Structures are given as structure tokens and as C-alpha cells.
Structure 1
Amino acid sequence: MTYQVILPAAGLGKRMRAGKNKLLLELKGMPVLVHTLRVFEEDEDCEGIILAIHPQDEQEFKALLRKYRVRKVLNLVPGGDERQHSIYNALKTVESNGIVLVHDAARPFIRKGHIHRLTETARETGAAIIGVPAKDTMKKVQDGVVVETVERSSLWAVQTPQAFRISILREAYEKAERDHFLGTDDSSLVERLNVPVSVVEGDYDNIKLTTPEDLFFAEAILKKREKEFC
């Protein structure tokens, strides 16, 4: 099932405390952004990539695309103040009427098999997200005090990509803009249309690199995957 993918890459990554866009940090000698791009560059089902970027990173990003021969990037669009605004800017440039994915550029470990399951589910149902069951006991806390223990079996940690029929995602973003609604992810916008969102189980390697500690986990995941292919 073919698709296009939007990668929001305009964040400043303040929690990483790197002094620059965290996507330019290197893992095994290659920028995080390139690790993520290569997943889609090497997927035969990916028809194109749209990057939402901060203008100050444009020249460096273009240089990386040339250096690492990334050829599927169709557009570099300006990011907005919020992730949601960046994605909406990118979504406006999508010309296909099929399936569009939205994926955090700082999640370089998504597996191609999970992408394919996700896009196929979105083709059948209209909307699908990837996630993993919560492993920890979950507490609802207010003012530093436990209010209740939340039943865990129905809780999932949601990741990206998230996949949608383009018509559905456009409608969701247009409604959010009219209502001045800022959601936590793309699925939260689609849910406001009363569109059922299916869940595909992924794996716990698909982490988002957010804080300096995540880089240690990323190195461990890379080492583990190297052994898988030995």
C-alpha cells in the first residue's frame, strides 16, 4: 500500500539541551534525521517525504539530503509555532488522494513491517495509529497526590507513524483550525470527527529522542539491531 509521509522537523528540541536541532545530533556517525529518512527512502511503498522545517535549518538539511542521497523528499515547508501548525503546512502540499503518514522525525527506529501494517489498516478503516501496551502501573495524580490507580490493561503508549486517508486528515485539521483546537497528536484531531481510530501494535524500540538520556537508549537499540542482521 503506497503512501506519502510528513515529518515535522522544525522543533528546537530544548529538552535535549544540545544547542542545536536535535535531529542533527549523530548516532553511529550519521545524523538522527538521516536515520529516520532512510527508513522511508528505502521503503518501496513510500512515494514521497515532506519535511516541515525551521528556516534556520534549511541549508543544512538540504546539504544532508545531497550528502546522503535522499531523493524522496518532495518538499521542504516552513514549520509553525506548534507541531500541529507544521503538519498542517505540510499537509497542504500533499497532492495524492491516498494514505498519508505523520511521523516524528526524532523516531528513527520504526520498522518497515509496522509501517506496512499501519498503512494497510488505514486503507481499510480510514485511520490507524501505532502503539504499545503500557507496562508500568499508572496513577492519576493531582497536586502531587495520587487520586486513583488507573486500570492498566486498556492503556497504550501511542507512537508514530499515524496513518490516515488524506481526506480525513485534511478535514480534521480544517476543523481544528476553525475551532482553535490544539491537539496532542494527529489522532486527537481525527477523533473529534467521530472517526474510529484503529490501533496497530508496534514495539518498544520505537522511541522518540527527547532528552540526553534517550541517546544512550538509541545507541543500545542500534547495537541490538546490528546483531539481528549478523
Structure 2
Amino acid sequence: MQNIDEPAVALVVAAGSGTRLGGPVPKALVEIGGRPLVRWSVDALAAGGCDRAVVVVAAELIDDFRVALAEASIPVELVVGGSRRQDSVAHGLAAVGEQGIVLVHDAARPFVPAQVVQAVRRAVGSGAVCAIPVLPVVDSIRRVGTEGSVVVDRSELAAVQTPQGFDIATLRSCHLRAAELGLEVTDDAAVCEAAGHPVTLVPGAREAMKVTEPFDIVVATAIAAARVASGSEGPVAVDLNKEKQ
């Protein structure tokens, strides 16, 4: 069992191109409130108890990320990613160490509150092999097929967020197994689940939204402004109408 208060290493995945967002630079380098998204993400993880970060980036952008993270609140090591997300995580795991807790986080979720990071870290510290933050699904959901659509019971669904926390040695072995079997998975919890490990759920937060499309920049700008004004790393009240004026 890990120590419940043991610090964690942050593994931040920032090697994607972010094509749906558009713009001249990859999503993780887009500036919101005077800071790139990846810097917001690293600082948020530091506020939740991470004492260093490994950030996985595209090879041609190492210098850009070095500048973006020069004033991060914890030490940062840059690692070149792979062609798929799970390959990038595997590359990052080679740099995080052999033992302890790792929190795998998408750079595109810049405003995860410190208490969510802490909840994930403490779940792993208390013995969970894998812990992930989730939110109830609030929209009505329909499964669409070639012959029409059908309503899905949303009470049985949950939206998955990051950071996802793991015992480092276990996550590394699960990634090796997935590579050997040729498995393709959407997140790291699925890598562990495919190896037979249970997934522990902790409460997520609406503020830990993923910046994916141009509209998300409007919301993220409002959150950043409220964070700067309050000096807070936790949830803040946001007036979106004010940001649009």
C-alpha cells in the first residue's frame, strides 16, 4: 500500500495537435489568461500535491514547451511522445521513476481543482491500483445506429476526467501488456482494466473541463480570469456573460 500523503509525479500528456481547436499552435500551447494551457495544468497538479512533472510533447516542439514551462511551480522534465496517446504515456512512464504514485493528466484540462487532484492521489495512497475522477452525465443521451436511435439510461453513465492516478509499477506493467497484445485503449484506466485491475471512482468537477473546440476557449478564458482575480486554485464563480461583453 502507498502512503496516503505520499506526493505524486504528474505525467502530463501534451503531444497531440489539437486540430479541432484550430489556430497556429498546438492546443497545449494556446495562451489563456497570459499562460499556456500546459502551464495551467502543471500548476494545478502542483497545487494538488505533485512535486514534479513529466510532460510528453512532440519532438519538434520541445523548445516551445521549455519556454512555456520555464516558470512552472514544480520541476518539469520534457519527454518526446509517440504516435498514439498510449504510446506517449508509455514514453513518459520511462521517466517518472520505478515506485510511487503517478497522476496522468491531459494538458487540455487546465483548471482541475486542487481538491480533485488530492482525492485521486489519496485514493491511490490508500490502496487503489487505479483511481479516476468522474461526473454524472447531465444531458439526455441517445445511442444512434443505422436503423434509428434509442435513449440510454444516463443514471448508469459517468463522464471520465483526469488526472487518473496509479501505482507506477502497475501502470507500467499494464502498458507493457497492452503493447504486447496490440490493444488500443482510450485512457489509462482502460489499460489497467484490460489487465484485470479494478477502477476506483472519485468525484470530479465541472471546472476540470477539457478544452477541445473554439467555444471552450470562451469558458476557459472566464475561468482563468476568475482564478487570477481570486488567487484561487479551486472552483470559482464564473460570469460567462461578462466575458463576452
What's the TM-score, normalizing by structure 2?
A: 0.86
1:136 equivalent in alignment to 2:139? yes
Residues 126 and 78 from structure 1, CA distance in 2 versus in 1: closer, same or farther, beyond 3 angstroms?
A: same
> 1:14-163 maps to which residues of 2 (within 5 A)?
14-43=19-48, 45-66=49-70, 68-73=71-76, 75-123=77-125, 124-143=127-146, 145-146=148-149, 148-163=150-165
1:16 match: secondary structure: coil
Say whether the 8 Å CA contact 1:114–1:202 is kept in structure 2. Answer: yes
Deviation at 1:47, TM superposition (A): 2.5
Deviation at 1:224, TM superposition (A): 4.3
Where structure 1 has 5 or more consecutive residues not aligned to the other structure, the ranges are none
Q: Which moved more, 1:120-129 or 1:84-93?
A: 120-129
Say whether the 8 Å CA contact 2:134–2:159 is kept in structure 1. Answer: yes
Where structure 2 has 5 or more consecutive residues not aligned to the other structure, the ranges are 237-245
The count of corresponding residues between Structure 1 and Structure 2 is 226
Say whether the 8 Å CA contact 1:109–1:207 is kept in structure 2. Answer: yes
Aligned to 2:242: none
Counterpart-to-counterpart distance in 2, 1:213 and 1:131: 22
RMSD: 1.8
2:223 to 209, 221, 230: 221
Residues 91 and 121 from structure 1, CA distance in 2 versus in 1: closer, same or farther, beyond 3 angstroms?
A: same
Which 4+ runs in 1 deviate beyond 3 A? 223-230
**Share of identical aligned residues, percent?**
31
Say whether the 8 Å CA contact 1:41–1:72 is kept in structure 2. Answer: no
1:103 match: secondary structure: strand
2:163 match: secondary structure: strand
Aligned partner letter, 2:51: E
Deviation at 1:19, TM superposition (A): 2.5
Deviation at 1:137, TM superposition (A): 1.2
Deviation at 1:22, TM superposition (A): 1.4
Deviation at 1:42, TM superposition (A): 4.1
Counterpart-to-counterpart distance in 2, 1:194 and 1:69: 36
